[in-house]
């Protein structure tokens, strides 16, 4: 069974979604990301995927207080990426209770960081984000081409002890036109790593398609815009009920 990560992307302290990662395409879904984290927990999310977009674009984490507040407010693991470039940043994220750190640009620019983090914290605590456009890995908030193939990077990370990658097809991200099943399966098969798929989920049928390639190592998926746009069964009813509640359930701790 696929593990589903609801995505919370942070920009200027707000919860937003972008189209193909392009600045200027953002749509604000909440001024309070912590309440959004609580909402997903109330809808039975087992874990969350949080991205510091300001950090991804600027090269340094900008939303750490917001992330800490979310971690403290819910009782499920939180995975965080975006702008993580140093060992000290990784250590700080773990110190505030983050369950797993996703290293992206730094995996290319400073692979020794990945090796050190895996050795220090263990392979279950570190994932590498591979964000690709036409099979080539993009870095620095998807603004620059690394010139390195997605599979090539996955294999290099495997040699450093990495066990999991988060694979995003940038062209699909935020489009709700379906995930790139072929490339997701390909990177899982060629690398032998566990893969969290990301980008393009439009609804229930896409999850069924991804589940068909779970046997190749694609065991989880990040879902963003489709959740925010209520594209799954029961969501509309949940939203109607939640608007009437001040306390959204026993897991809420704020």
9 classed as catalytic = yes
Give the Å distances, CA to CA, from 196 to 30, 58, 112, 129, 169.
25, 25, 23, 9, 12
- How many Cβ atoms from other residues are within 10 Å of residue 22's Cβ? 14
Assign residue 174 a region (left: φ > 0; alpha: ψ between -120 and 50; beta: otherwise).
Answer: left
131 classed as catalytic = yes
Give the Å distances, CA to CA, from 83 to 1, 59, 67, 143.
31, 5, 13, 13
Cα 122 to chain center, whole Å?
19
3-state secondary structure of 169: strand
- How many Cβ atoms from other residues are within 10 Å of residue 192's Cβ? 12
Is residue 113 within 8 A of residue 87, CB to CB? The reply is yes
Q: Which of 131, 169, 173, 219 is catalytic?
A: 131
The beta strands (E) that lie in the chain are given as: 3-11, 14-17, 27-30, 48-52, 78-81, 100-103, 126-133, 136-139, 144-149, 164-169, 194-198, 218-223
Instruction: Tell me the catalytic residues.
Output: 9, 131
């Amino acid at each position: 069974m696929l593990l589903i990560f609801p995505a919370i992307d942070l920009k200027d302290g707000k919860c937003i979604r972008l189209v193909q990662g392009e600045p200027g395409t953002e749509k604000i879904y909440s001024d309070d990301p912590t309440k959004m984290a609580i909402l997903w927990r109330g809808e039975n999310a087992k874990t969350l995927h949080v991205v510091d977009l300001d950090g991804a674009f600027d090269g340094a984490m900008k939303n750490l207080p917001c992330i800490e507040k979310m971690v403290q407010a819910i009782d499920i693991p939180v995975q965080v990426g975006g702008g993580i470039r140093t060992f000290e940043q990784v250590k700080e994220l773990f110190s505030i209770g983050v369950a797993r750190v996703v290293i992206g640009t730094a995996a290319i620019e400073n692979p020794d960081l990945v090796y050190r983090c895996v050795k220090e914290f263990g392979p279950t605590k570190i994932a590498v984000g591979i964000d690709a456009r036409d099979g080539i890995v993009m870095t620095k908030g998807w603004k620059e081409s690394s010139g390195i193939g997605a599979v090539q990077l996955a294999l290099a990370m495997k040699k450093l002890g990495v066990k999991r990658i988060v694979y995003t097809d940038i062209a699909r991200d935020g489009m709700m036109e379906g995930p790139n099943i072929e490339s997701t399966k390909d990177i899982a098969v060629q690398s032998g790593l566990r893969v969290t798929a990301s980008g393009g989920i439009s609804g229930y049928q896409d999850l069924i398609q991804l589940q068909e390639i779970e046997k190749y190592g694609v065991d989880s998926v990040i879902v963003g815009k489709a959740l925010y746009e209520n594209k799954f069964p029961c969501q509309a009813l949940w939203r109607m009920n939640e608007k009437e509640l001040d306390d959204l359930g026993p897991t809420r701790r704020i």
